[in-house]
Every structure is written in C-alpha cells, then in structure tokens.
Amino acid sequence: MPNLYHLRLLLLHAILFLSLTGCATFSALEAPVPLYESIYIYSGTRLDWAAISQNEVVLKKFRVDPPRYPWVDLPFSFTLDTLLLPVSIYAEVFH
C-alpha cells in the first residue's frame, strides 16, 4: 500500500505534467498587441480566467490560445504574474 509521501509525489508530478500544456503568463506577454491595448498586468491570470469563464471578447483581445487546462495553470500563472509584476508595470508604462 502506497504511503502518503508517494501519493503526494504522484499528485505533484501530475500537476506539473498538466501545467506543461502552456503557461498563460508567457503566452500573454509574447502576444502581438497594439499599443493602445493594455494586457501586461496579471496577463496570465486574466487569460486563464477568461478561458475558465469562456469570455470570448477577452480571449480575442489576447490573440493567443489559452492553456488546455486553465484551472491547473491558474495558480502557477498567478504566482508568476506576482513575481513578474515589476517587469509588467515597466512594460505597461513604457510600452
């Protein structure tokens, strides 16, 4: 019978494997966006949330495909968006 450590390790590997389908933060930051549109601040989190809520207007604004599993990618994108917030603010101000 597997112990709790092995179950946690298996769950971690499953989450990491599913998150390889695409990072919304990097996808959104690399998207070709006109100068008058603003998408840099928490862009990956907003892209994931638009995919979860099936908001076609916001998805078209990003001009990239959302991750295959946005619920799995959401916490990772939120963390990465928070870490990249100074860079995102700089890109937003000087875009």
Encode pLDDT of 22-52 as tens digits.
566 666 666 666 555 666 788 888 889 999 9
DSSP string over 27-92: HHHTS---TT----TTHHHHHHHHHHHT-HHHHHHHTSPPPS-HHHHHHHHHHHHHHTHHHHHHHH
Distance, CA of 91 to CA of 15 (rounded, Å) = 30
pLDDT of residue 11: 78
Residue whose structure tokens are 């638009």: 50
Structure confidence by residue, pLDDT tens digits, 55-72: 998 888 877 788 888 888
Distance, CA of 42 to CA of 88 (rounded, Å) = 8
pLDDT value at 53 more than 90: yes
